[in-house]
């Protein structure tokens, strides 16, 4: 087993007392006192309601919170469960609060949860974020049900979100993951997943727990590993997702840099898998899709357009080091477009991302600087999408994203061709 960090002795003792479990629900946390009690209550109610005959353990893997998160988990009470439970549970849900060891980050927190699941020989494991405001007991059924009842290995979430939310997922991660690995997993970095025992063991065997995966990028790593290594993947419709800001201290450029470095590292590591894949196929979906009311989102599209145009003016010399001349020319034509009609053609956006991937691989400039220089173009793409989807409802906005995904798939052979000719220069 590659995951060589041993479990905390107290945790080990707690697991020994519990013995075995059927289900493990993991909640990684760090200073989530305002939301975690609700997550624990919903999860515990869900485990009791939907899996009354199963032995379940809730593991909170905490990164040293100083705001009382651990106490909130210990004290969270479901209250009068008769209002939500149809059947009486056979086993109580054990609750464990433990610190994790190793590099600080969500990846290390999840490793502790996976190790606990392995120790308990759990059949299925689910992880949910501690910052969720919209989690309901039914989420336990959505995430664990396909694993327990249908023998799926990986359950990815499918949320209903505002058309302007999740823009990194919509503009980059979903279409690129889909075109590279051929599966239509709509939320590869959703943060809430259901996992089989086999997949948990597979994750723990990977030699990544001392890399950046341990700090950030665990979500895309889990999704990509499950897809690329041929595990049975499905999606579960979770309804709306409302959560706190991931890390208010992080700027957009830093967040984008973290996501893209994790994504491109996987692209490098998995090239033998994705190079031969063409097109994509849908994955089974559990749960009934339905419309829900979503929080309105305030957008400043003009400001995003200005960011793009300012980037074009000031970073053009950097971009021209690695963007193909035709891509560079394409971007330059938008230097003076008014915000109201601002539009980046889909093919141009796809080719731009492909050139960034190639530059990341070839280290044309320092990777940190490379990814930081993506922010203005990304904002331009978001602004362009907002113009296109201004009058669109959720279905029409989704259709626009589908067009983008198809553009990624159509241009994949060109990308593979460039990838196989390292040393190409603009």
- Tell me how far apart the alpha carbons of residues 58 and 26 are, in angstroms, rounded to a whole number: 6
Which of 78, 103, 302, 315 contacts another protein by CB under 8 A?
A: 315
Residue whose CB is less far from another protein, 89 or 376: 376
Question: What mask of x and - would describe binding to another protein in positions 218 to 247, judged by CB under 8 A?
Answer: ---------------------------xx-
Residues in Cβ contact with 223 at an 8 Å cutoff, skipping those fewer than 6 apart:
154, 156, 177, 185, 188, 189, 193
Answer yes or no whether residue 317 interacts with another protein by CB under 8 A: yes
Rank residues 77 and 251 by Cβ distance to another protein and give the closer one: 251
C-beta separation of 285 from 184 below 8 A: no
Q: Is 164 in the site for another protein (CB under 8 A)?
A: yes
The DSSP symbol for 6 reads: P
Rule CB under 8 A: say whether 177 interacts with another protein: no
32 belongs to the binding site for another protein (CB under 8 A): no
Largest CA distance in the chain: 67
Position among 376, 388, 397, 409 found at the interface with another protein (CB under 8 A): 376
Query: How many angstroms separate the first and last alpha carbons of the chain?
Result: 44
Strands 193-196 and 124-127 turn out to be antiparallel
Phi–psi pair at 237, nearest 5 degrees: -80, 120
184 is written with which tokens?
A: 């239509």
Between 155 and 259, whose beta carbon lies closer to another protein? Answer: 259
Beta-carbon-side half-sphere exposure of residue 136 (alpha carbons within 13 Å): 9
Shortest Å, Cβ 14 to another protein: 33
CB of 375 to another protein, least distance (A): 5
From the CB of 314, what's the least distance to another protein, in Å? Answer: 5
Nearest to 213 by CA among 259, 252, 154, 248: 259
Region 379-398 residues binding another protein, contact defined as CB under 8 A:
382
Judged by DSSP in three states, 284 sits in coil
Total of chain residues touching another protein, rule CB under 8 A: 40
Q: Considering the rule CB under 8 A, would residue 256 count as an interface residue with another protein?
A: yes
Smallest gap from Cβ 313 to another protein, in A, equals 8
Site residues (vs another protein, CB under 8 A) = 164-169, 189, 245-246, 248, 251-253, 255-256, 295-300, 306-307, 310-311, 314-315, 317-318, 321, 364-366, 369, 372-373, 375-376, 382, 425
């Amino acid at each position: 087993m590659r995951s060589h960090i041993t479990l905390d002795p107290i945790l080990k003792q707690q697991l020994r007392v519990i013995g075995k479990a059927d289900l493990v629900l993991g909640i990684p946390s760090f200073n989530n006192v305002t939301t975690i009690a609700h997550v624990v209550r919903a999860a515990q109610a869900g485990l009791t309601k939907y899996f009354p005959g199963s032995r379940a353990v809730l593991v909170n893997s905490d990164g040293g919170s100083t705001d009382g998160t651990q106490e909130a988990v210990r004290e969270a009470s479901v209250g009068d469960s008769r209002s939500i439970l149809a059947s009486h549970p056979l086993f109580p849900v054990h609750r464990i609060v433990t610190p994790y060891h190793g590099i600080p980050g969500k990846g290390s927190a999840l490793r502790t949860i996976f190790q606990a699941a392995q120790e308990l020989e759990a059949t299925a494991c689910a992880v949910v974020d501690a910052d969720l405001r919209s989690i309901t007991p039914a989420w336990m059924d959505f995430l664990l049900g396909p694993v327990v009842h249908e023998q799926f290995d990986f359950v990815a979430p499918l949320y209903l979100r505002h058309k302007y939310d999740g823009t990194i997922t919509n503009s980059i991660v979903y279409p690129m993951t889909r075109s590279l690995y051929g599966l239509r997993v709509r939320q590869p970095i959703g943060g809430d997943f259901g996992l089989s025992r086999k997949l948990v063991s597979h994750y723990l065997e990977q030699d990544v727990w001392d890399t950046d995966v341990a700090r950030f990028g665990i979500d895309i790593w889990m999704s990509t590993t499950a897809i690329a290594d041929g595990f049975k993947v499905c999606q579960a419709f979770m309804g709306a997702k409302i959560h706190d800001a991931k890390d208010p201290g992080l700027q957009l450029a830093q967040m984008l840099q973290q996501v893209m470095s994790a994504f491109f590292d996987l692209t490098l590591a998995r090239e033998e898998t994705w190079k031969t894949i063409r097109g994509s196929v849908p994955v089974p979906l559990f749960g009934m899709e339905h419309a829900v009311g979503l929080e309105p989102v305030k957008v400043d599209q003009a400001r995003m357009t200005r960011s793009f145009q300012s980037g074009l003016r000031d970073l053009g010399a950097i971009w021209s080091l690695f963007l193909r001349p035709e891509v560079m020319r394409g971007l330059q034509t938008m230097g003076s477009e008014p915000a109201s009609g601002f539009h980046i053609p889909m093919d141009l956006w796809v080719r731009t991302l492909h050139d960034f991937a190639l530059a990341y691989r070839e280290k044309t400039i320092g990777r940190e600087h490379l990814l930081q220089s993506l922010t203005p173009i990304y904002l331009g793409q978001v602004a362009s999408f907002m113009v296109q989807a201004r009058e669109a409802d959720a279905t029409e906005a989704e259709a626009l994203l589908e067009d983008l995904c198809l553009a990624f798939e159509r241009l994949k052979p060109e990308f593979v061709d460039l990838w196989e000719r390292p040393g190409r220069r603009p």
